[in-house]
Amino acid sequence: MSRAAVLCGLGGWVPAKAVANSTLAEQLDTTDEWIRTRTGIRQRFVIDPGQATSDLAVEAGRRALESARRTREHGGADGGPAPDVDLVVLATSTPDHPCPATAPVVAHRLGLAPVAAFDVGAVCTGFVYALATAASMVTAGLARRALVIGADTFSTILDPADRTTRAIFGDGAGAVVLRAGRPDEPGALLGFDLGSDGGGEELITVRAGGSRQRSTGAPAPEGDEWFSMRGREVFTQAVLCMSRSAEALLDGIGWRGEELDRMVAHQANVRILRAVGEQLGLAEDRLVVNLDRVGNTVAGSIPLALADAAASGGLRPGQRVLLTGFGGGLTWGSAALRWPELHVEPVPGLEGDEPAAAPDTHP
Amino acid sequence: MTSPTSFDLKARLVAILGEKFGLPEDEVLSGATFDELDIDSLVLVELSLILRKELGVDLAEGDLDSSFRIDDAVAAVEAKRAMV
């Protein structure tokens, strides 16, 4: 029997400070209704001054490792002997520093050093890319057990005066543990579809701060240090790329769209999620939605939504689950698995606040 | 002169705007622009995506404009269909 990477642990984390729409409305020319109807978002979380992406990644990672330990104890998806994690892959586009990567310090703080550790950058698709990378390394025998984290702190790169991006993005992290196993086990990653189109680089970007601007020797033009996004074009591309990627993967692994129990798409905007559902012919109850309470947490988004849904009963063992993401690059990617038995703790700050099946965007 | 095809297309557009976006048929047919119907900017993006799936027309961002009336939108979609 061939070897596969199997999901055996899951955790999520958001910082302590929640920012409600009403708070943004006090600071910017916007309203709670405008934000809710355009995006479905009610609140987002932001880090405190001095905090960094690794702080969120460490907490999410710790919880995923604990989830794997408890799952194993309860004889769930991880019933075998327990080799230690020997690989950490972190998806982020807001690293603690421009150099070095953030994954090594995350591994160190989790007590996992001297394991292999590196960052993967694919913006909002980062987690799917990191998952594919780690799963491939597990399958190839380069790692036995991998911690895969998606974490971002976009609050640190948003223009404080930009009412649109500040409404959409929040800080957060999620993590999974993968182990070597068999392709016919629940939790086995059954396939991936990945793609990119650098012709769309300008749609989602921070113009300054990299080698292109720094090599000029001149200060960055005003505003270029902040994140920018061409919203309506991104909306269209996000829907088309995620739908096509999902269809390609479903086709590749032999699942029909109507057999899908849950789609966990990158939590960009509830109207994007609905439009993807529409393109794929999925009923709305198949869509996992938690962006109403966390906003768009970039690379953290998919694993944070997974942890939130798994802890609140929105994902159940045996379900056919599709993950799909889209982000800057442009990049996109999808993965599929049957949901395993997992012990997952509620995400602190989100517990007891049930995910809204369908936030109302039509007042 | 409205061809039968564009008549069907107009009926389909009116139906989508009603079912998906809650716009009353009489208001859509009143000759008001999308701006005057008070829809938000994402509705035309969402409508374009639905039409792309249903009709296979390659509507890009900006092909449907908020200054359009329903007949302008039908003409824009017809023009795209003719290019297929």
Q: What is the DSSP string of A23-73?
A: HHHHHSS--HHHHHHHH---EEEEPPTT--HHHHHHHHHHHHHHHHHHHHH
pLDDT tens track for B32-67: 999 998 888 899 999 999 999 988 888 887 889 999
Residue B6 pLDDT grade (very low, low, confident, very high; cuts 50, 70, 90): low
pLDDT of residue A82: 53
Q: CB neighbours of A99 closer than 8 A, spacing ≥ 6?
A: none
User: Which CATH topology does B4-83 take?
Assistant: 1.10.1200
In the predicted structure, residue A330 carries a pLDDT above the cut 60: yes
On chain A, the residues whose CB falls within 8 A of the CB of B22 are 362
Whole-number percent of chain A with pLDDT over 90: 91
Which of B53, B58, B63, B66 to mutate: most A Cβ within 10 Å? Answer: B53
Q: CB neighbours of B37 closer than 8 A, spacing ≥ 6?
A: B23, B27, B28
pLDDT tens track for A148-200: 999 999 999 999 999 999 999 999 999 999 999 999 999 999 999 999 999 99
Of A233, A275, A362, the CB nearest to B61: A233
CA of A236 vs chain B CAs: smallest distance (Å): 7
Kindly list the distances between the CA atom of residue A219 and the CA atoms of A122, A214, A226, in Å, as whole numbers in the listed order.
26, 8, 14
Instruction: Report domain extents, chain B.
Output: 4-83
Active site residues of A: 124, 266, 296
User: Which CATH topology does A4-181 take?
Assistant: Peroxisomal Thiolase; Chain A, domain 1 (3.40.47)
Contact A175, A304 (CB under 8 A): no
User: Which two structure tokens, joined as six digits, stand for A297?
Assistant: 């947490």
CA of A24 vs chain B CAs: smallest distance (Å): 20
Q: What angle do CA A24, A171, A63 make, to 5 degrees?
A: 140
CB contact under 8 A, B45 and A278: no
Kindly list the distances between the CA atom of residue A343 and the CA atoms of A78, A190, A221, B77, in Å, as whole numbers in the listed order.
10, 21, 49, 51
Contact A319, A173 (CB under 8 A): no
H-type alpha helices, A183-316: 211-214, 231-253, 270-280, 291-294, 301-311
pLDDT tens track for B53-62: 988 888 887 8
pLDDT of residue B40: 82
pTM: 0.93
CB contact under 8 A, B46 and A275: yes
In the predicted structure, residue A108 carries a pLDDT above the cut 60: yes
Instruction: Let me know if the fold of A4-181 is the same as that of A189-338.
Output: yes
Q: Give the Cα separation of A149 and A88 in Å (integer).
A: 8
Residue B5 pLDDT grade (very low, low, confident, very high; cuts 50, 70, 90): low
User: Which CATH topology does A189-338 take?
Assistant: Peroxisomal Thiolase; Chain A, domain 1 (3.40.47)
CB contact under 8 A, A279 and B42: no
CB contact under 8 A, B49 and A239: yes
